[in-house]
A and B are shown apart, each in its own frame.
Chain A
Amino acid sequence: MANGEFRLRVRYGKTDRLRWLSHLEVIHTLERSLRRAELPYAITQGFSPHMKVAFGPALPVGTAGLEEYLEVWLTRYTTAEEALARLVAATPAGLAPQAAVFVGDRDSSLGAALTIAQYQVGIVGKEASAAQVQAALDSVIAEQTLEVVHKGKNKVYDLARCLPEEARVSDTESGSVIALTVRMGPEGSLRPEVLIRAALAAASLDASVATTTRIATLVETEGGWARPM
């Protein structure tokens, strides 16, 4: 490596009770895991030296993630297998690392590379059947834009850009589940609950979001979408 550092990319989950953590809490917890694992992490230069580490796109409080990513720069080479094993042994189960690989210095950052998020959103209520929810979603998506007031500011989402794939709803025992793919980027990342709540409200359905899980975080390639490792 050019600067003598080794860039390790790690896939982890945010599951079970730990879905109630905020993004900042996830970062602090995993930084402490990296220290407990005694990986030879690099320290940034400067006035307030800290661990050289980067995280993929944030998950809100309450949203689980099955495939989330972080990168840490190491000053000494250790095999990815060994680094992973040490990290697993030092991390609370709900944030358990699943895989680790070294990536090149010139690979784009996680924030820039990860632009596709696939969600599963559980819907419950008296009017939460797949047919009802699908119709509600389709009619909001047909509007092409979604206007949302967030913290006093009006934000307009271009749904054609935000939703690169059709939303599919299927029945479950307690209601339905929506499979939704969202494109993330500097123009803004549409939160699935925002779209779904708008749809349920517009159709006046007696239904609500029960759980949200980001099942995959992906990069866009020429041929389609792929995991970043």
Chain B
Amino acid sequence: MTRTDLWNRVEPLLAGVERPARYIDREWGASHCEDAGYAVALIYPDTYEIGQANQAIAILYNALNALDDTAAERAYLPWVDMSSAMREAGVPLFSLESCRPVREFDLVGITVPYELTLTNVLETLDLAQIPLRAADRSDADPLVIGGGPCVYNPEPFAPFFDAILIGEGEEAVTEIVAAHRRAKEAGLSRVETLEALSRVPGVYVPSLYRVLSAEDGSFLGVEPIGSAPARVAKRVVADLDAMRPPVAGIVPFMDVVHDRFGIEVLRGCTRGCRFCQAGMVYRPVRERTADTIVRDVMAGLACSGYDEVSLTSLSTTDHSQLEEVLRRLGKRLEGSGVSVSLPSLRVDAFGVEMARLVSAGGKKSGLTFAPEAGTQRMRDVINKNVTEEDLLGSVQRAFEAGWRRVKLYFMIGLPTETDEDIAGIGRLVSRVLHTAREATPPSARGSIRVAVSVSTFVPKAQTPFQWDAQIPYDEVRRRQGVLRESMPRKGVDLHWHDAEVSFLEGVVARGGREVADVIEAAWRSGAVFDAWTEQFRLQRWLDAFESTGVDPATIANRERSEDEPLPWDHISAAVSPRYLRSERARALAGTTTTDCSFDGCTGCDVCGELGVDIVLGGASRG
């Protein structure tokens, strides 16, 4: 096996770039097993400071390095100053630990965290000197395998990957490596290797599927070629508590996002918000127990030296033992200067009480609530089971307890939305402001801040709204105008998402394989780091749609019929289409659905389909 160490060519470039700490490795906790016979490069296709805290990569890094004779190393996409210096010097993309060219690894794993990082995936491959498309790779190239949150409609990026893992990776990754090693030992060709990989549950090999179209070019479906499964179902770990989270992870030198010890306290959320892809695709709910959480937090802090721990999940305040966990951690961490943080709060008395527990005696930085919509009608449509009384009660408690800042998340462009619903956001924010003032002593009212963040709804695959039309971006701008008009003039910091960015997210979220051509054309015209506002140029994408003949409006802004084939029909997140249709019907009727982790089963079919069950740490949620 070739093992080129590029460090002597990388180091001379560092004096000329921003933040060289991105490229130097040697952090506490980095794993060095350079002699292993099999090597995996795990890549987050954005800068080091964005990707370093990614928990999925940390989990896979640990799991792979624990395997015999296997090394996992990290790579990130260098910032534009470094990538141009590397291209000029002829230095290919390298891993951090051994500073080896990524193309020398056996397997290259790339996570796709967000629709607009796909041009970064191409930039990563190109900088690594690996052909962009699986079809152009030879036996000398590594296997390029994708994963992450975007895989529930993998078609827009399917041609760039040899294989894509659907679902949770901690068990599957070991099986993938074993299958690849067996294939190598048997001397299998690339095609034979991919066929072997397609037999690993959860692995989707795009080249083993063909896209069927009618004569007029309309989409008819995706069907397997040969022995590949007709439907690839997501992988799921039955017992999260049996998988110890990485407690001896990497501690970065530089400031990164989420620069703290993060521990996943539960996985999945069954609140059933109908717009939320994460809530649909990460089912069922599996909690870790209070004992293992407390044990692993203490171990993680001791191993890392962090002064903050975050209890992460989609809905941490739903954990059945959260109060016990916070009380025990409070006792253990007293006087250490270590703080505990919760990512977001349930909009009720319990949520505020939990925030009080973690802030006891310390800073009260600000609370975040997500009512998502401005009227009860709209909240019932999206199944956001929060009332105005819940929100105002939470705000009152928070401001009475000493908080002065609150951040509220809303969406516009939801199915059935009217201008009246948008104006409702402004009215609700006015009431929040009023409640906050009433609950605050007059002398402190000057420091009250209400931040309002409004994003545009993007319909996602595998959700009840997967058939719905996204509103076009000129209409988004008009509704943003209605929103601005409705907002109180004073005391509110209003932010909204860029309409053009949301439009592109929508095209990638529900497009078919033809969108890969668009992504490649956009990248070829210079699109990279599209998730960075200052780098994003809509025109590059409009040109790319033009040159590839793909109509983005047909993908994003068209309502689909429920019996029309969808580009992701061959990928299953285990929530049944029957359930999605019934949830959509209930949405249109304004009927809400309960949460099965609190009340009874609501029939999404995940548990039966995957042979798993809800796992709670305590006796029940309440």
**Would you call B253 and A62 a contact (CB within 8 A)?**
no
Q: Is the interface of B mostly helix, strand, loop or mixed?
A: loop
B305:A50 contact, CB within 8 angstroms:
no
Between A and B, 30 residue pairs with Cβ closer than 8 Å are A17-B24, A17-B25, A18-B24, A18-B26, A20-B14, A20-B20, A21-B21, A21-B24, A21-B254, A22-B254, A25-B254, A25-B255, A29-B253, A32-B251, A32-B305, A34-B305, A35-B301, A35-B305, A35-B306, A35-B307, A36-B28, A36-B303, A36-B304, A36-B305, A43-B336, A47-B363, A48-B363, A50-B307, A51-B307, A90-B305
Write the B305-323 contact mask toward A (1 if CB under 8 angstroms, else 0): 1110000000000000000
State whether the Cβ of A129 lies closer than 8 Å to any Cβ in chain B.
no
Q: Is A94 an interface residue (CB 8 A)?
A: yes
Measured in the bound complex, the distance between the Cα atoms of B11 and A51 in whole Å is: 33
* B217 on the A face (CB < 8 A): no
Expressed in whole angstroms, the minimum distance between the Cβ of B595 and any Cβ of chain A is 37
Nearest to B253 among chain A residues (CB) is A25
Instruction: Across the A-B interface, give the 4 residue pairs with the lowest CB-CB distance, nearest first.
Output: A32-B305, A35-B305, A20-B20, A36-B305
Contact A17 B305 (CB under 8 A): no
B-contacting residues of A (Cβ < 8 Å)? 16-18, 20-22, 24-25, 28-29, 31-36, 38, 43, 47-51, 61-62, 90, 92-94
Q: Which residues of B contact A17 (CB under 8 A)?
A: 11, 24-26
B339 CB, nearest partner CB in chain A, Å: 9
- B11, closest chain A residue (CB): A17
Please tell me which one of the listed residues B26, B301, B303, B363 contacts residue A92 in the complex, with CB atoms under 8 A apart: B26
* Complex interface: chain A residues within 8 A of B14 (CB): 20, 62
Of all chain B residues, the one with the shortest Cβ separation from A51 is B337
Which residue, of A24, A32, A33, A48, has the highest number of chain B Cβ atoms within 10 A? A32
Quote the shortest CB–CB distance from A73 to chain B (angstroms). Answer: 13
A61 and B255 alpha carbons, distance in the complex (Å)? 15
What is the chain B residue whose CB lies nearest that of A22?
B21
Q: Is B588 an interface residue (CB 8 A)?
A: no
Cβ contacts under 8 Å, B301 to chain A: 35
Closest to A36 in B: B305
Cβ distance A53 to chain B, nearest Cβ, rounded Å: 11
Quick check: B20 and A33 within 8 Å, CB to CB? no
Check if B20 sits within 8 Å of A61, measured CB to CB. yes
Whose C-beta in chain A lies nearest to the C-beta of B27?
A92
Determine the chain A residues whose CB is within 8 A of the CB of B27 once the complex forms.
Answer: 92
A90 surroundings in chain B (CB, below 8 A): 305
| Nearest Cβ on chain A to B26's Cβ, whole angstroms | 5
Determine how close the nearest CB of chain B comes to the CB of A109; give it in whole angstroms. 21
- When distances are taken between beta carbons in the complex, the residues of chain B under 8 Å from A49 are 337, 362
Given known contacts A18-B26, A31-B307, A35-B306, what 18 new A-B pairs fall within 8 Å (CB)?
Answer: A16-B26, A20-B21, A21-B21, A21-B253, A28-B253, A29-B251, A29-B253, A32-B304, A32-B305, A32-B306, A33-B305, A34-B305, A36-B302, A36-B304, A48-B363, A62-B15, A62-B20, A92-B28
Contact partners of A34 in chain B: CB under 8 A: 305
In the complex, B600 has a CB within 8 A of chain A: no
List the B side residues contacting A28 at CB < 8 Å: 253, 255
CA distance in complex: A17, B5 (Å): 14
Chain B residues whose CB sits within 8 angstroms of the CB of A20 once the complex forms: 14, 20-21, 23-24
Bound: A82/B99 CA distance, A = 35
Query: Across the two chains, which residue of chain A brings its CB closest to B303?
Result: A36
Number of contacts between A and B (CB, 8 Å)? 71
B608 within 8 A of partner (CB): no
**Could you say which residues of chain B place their CB within 8 Å of the CB of A24?**
255
Tell me how far the C-beta of A142 lies from the nearest C-beta in chain B, rounded to whole angstroms: 29
Chain B residue with the shortest CB-CB distance to A94:
B26
A34, A49, A50: which has the most chain B beta carbons within 10 Å? Answer: A49
How many Å lie between the Cα of A208 and that of B251 in the bound state? 35
Q: How far is the CA of A20 from the CA of B26 in the complex (A)?
A: 11
Cβ contact of A93, chosen from B11, B20, B26, B302, cutoff 8 A: B26
Say yes or no for B335: interface residue by CB 8 A criterion. Answer: yes
* Minimum Cβ distance to chain B for residue A211 (Å): 10
Q: How far is the CA of A93 from the CA of B28 in the complex (A)?
A: 9
Contacting residues, chain B, for A22 (C-beta < 8 A): 21, 254
Bound complex: CA of A49 vs CA of B255, how far in Å?
A: 20
Q: How far does the alpha carbon of A62 sit from the alpha carbon of B254 in the complex, in Å?
A: 14
Which residues of B, 157-188, contact A by the 8 Å Cβ criterion? none
Contacts of B26 in A (CB 8 A): 16-18, 92-94
- Taken together as a complex, chains A and B put the C-alpha atoms of A31 and B338 apart, in Å, by 13
Say how far B355's CB is from chain A's closest CB, in angstroms: 17
User: How far is B336's CA from A34's CA once the two chains are assembled, in angstroms?
Assistant: 12
Determine the chain A residues whose CB is within 8 A of the CB of B302 once the complex forms. Answer: 36, 38
Measured in the bound complex, the distance between the Cα atoms of B306 and A62 in whole Å is: 25
Q: Give, as a whole number of angstroms, the nearest-CB distance from A45 to chain B.
A: 11
CB-CB under 8 A from A32, the residues of chain B are 28, 251, 304-306
Residue in B23, B24, B335, B363 whose Cβ sees the most chain A Cβ within 10 Å: B24
Distance to closest chain A CB from B32 (angstroms): 11
Chain A, residue nearest B14 (CB): A20
Closest chain B residue, CB of each to CB of A48: B363
Which residues of chain B are within 8 angstroms of A25 by Cβ–Cβ distance? 21, 253-255
Closest chain A CB from B73 CB (angstroms): 15
CA distance A38 to B253 in the complex (A): 19
- Contact code string B324-339 (vs A, CB < 8 Å = 1, else 0): 0000000000011100
CA distance A90 to B28 in the complex (A): 8
- Tell me how far the C-beta of B456 lies from the nearest C-beta in chain A, rounded to whole angstroms: 36
A61–B11 CA distance with the chains assembled, in angstroms: 13
Q: How far is the CB of A135 from chain B (nearest CB, A)?
A: 26
Contacts of A94 in B (CB 8 A): 26
A20 to B25, CA, bound (A): 11
Distance of A131 from chain B, by nearest CB (Å):
26
A87 CB → nearest B CB, Å: 11
- Within the complex, what minimum Cβ distance (angstroms) separates A69 from chain B? 19
Compute how far the CA of A224 lies from the CA of B551 in the bound complex, rounded to whole angstroms: 78
Contact residues of B between 7 and 59, Cβ < 8 Å to A: 11, 14-15, 20-21, 23-28
Taking each of B302, B307, B362, which has the highest tally of chain A beta carbons within 10 Å of its own beta carbon? B307
Closest-by-CB residue of A relative to B305 is: A32
Q: Mark B116-141, 1 if CB is under 8 A from A, else 0.
A: 00000000000000000000000000
Say how far B186's CB is from chain A's closest CB, in angstroms. 40
CB-based nearest A residue for B22: A20
CB distance from B249 to the nearest CB of A (A): 12
Q: What are the residues of chain A within 8 A of B303 when measuring CB–CB?
A: 36
A17 to B24, CA, bound (A): 6
Nearest-CB distance from A65 to chain B (Å)?
A: 15
A138 to B335, CA, bound (A): 56
Q: Which residues of B contact A92 (CB under 8 A)?
A: 26-28
Which B residues, 64 to 121, have Cβ-Cβ distances below 8 Å to chain A? none
Closest CB in chain B relative to A36 CB, distance in Å: 4
User: Considering the chains assembled together, what is the distance between the CA atoms of A94 and B362 in angstroms?
Assistant: 35
In the complex, what residues of B have CB within 8 A of residue A43's CB? Answer: 335-337
- Report B243-285 CB contacts with A as 1/0, cut-off 8 Å: 0000000010111000000000000000000000000000000
Q: In angstroms, how far is the closest chain A Cβ from the Cβ of B92? A: 19
